[in-house]
Amino acid sequence: MLSKKSQYAFKALTYLSEKYEQGPVLISEIAKKKKIPLKFLENILLELKKAGILDSKKGKGGGYFLQKAPDQITMATVIRLINGPIAMLPCVSLYFYERCSNCNEKVCGLHDMMVEVRDATLNIVDNRTIKDLLVGGKS
């Protein structure tokens, strides 16, 4: 399941997408409009900034804004950053791989099945961006 943090991140990114190339947006504005706890949102936006998804400006007239176009930010990137692995098992994760203890991947039926699930999921989240989250984003 996606954490609340992830859902907040997507809401914030959606909001910032609507304001893309319209200058910095205040954290407090996003928090208010999207009903996200302010200080919690602060952490999330900072994380998104450090990952190169957002950028910010300090002082008066400052705020947060997208560093790339909405259609250049994939869902997979955001999920991995805020939520963690997309795969259902560490031994099947591309970005958070850890080998199985007591289980040989070469002959593990669960492993193979979870690879299938991972690929089916990636096929979607790798090919969708936050632009697709906007109403009418497909037009």
Residues that bind DNA (CB under 7 A): 3-5, 8, 24-28, 37-40, 42-43, 45-46, 49-50, 56-64, 84
Q: Which does 106 bind (CB under 5 to 8 A by kind): DNA, a second copy, none?
A: none
88: left (phi over 0), alpha (psi -120 to 50) or beta: alpha
Contacts of 39 (CB under 8 A, 6+ apart): none
Nearer to DNA, 25 or 76 (CB): 25
What tokens does 67 get? 């560093």
What tokens does 26 get? 């205040």
- Phi and psi at 73, nearest 5°, equal -110, 110
Return residues touching a second copy (CB under 8 A): 1-2, 7, 10, 14, 34-35, 75, 84-85, 87-90, 102, 107, 109-110, 113-114, 116-117, 120-121, 123-125, 128, 132-135, 137
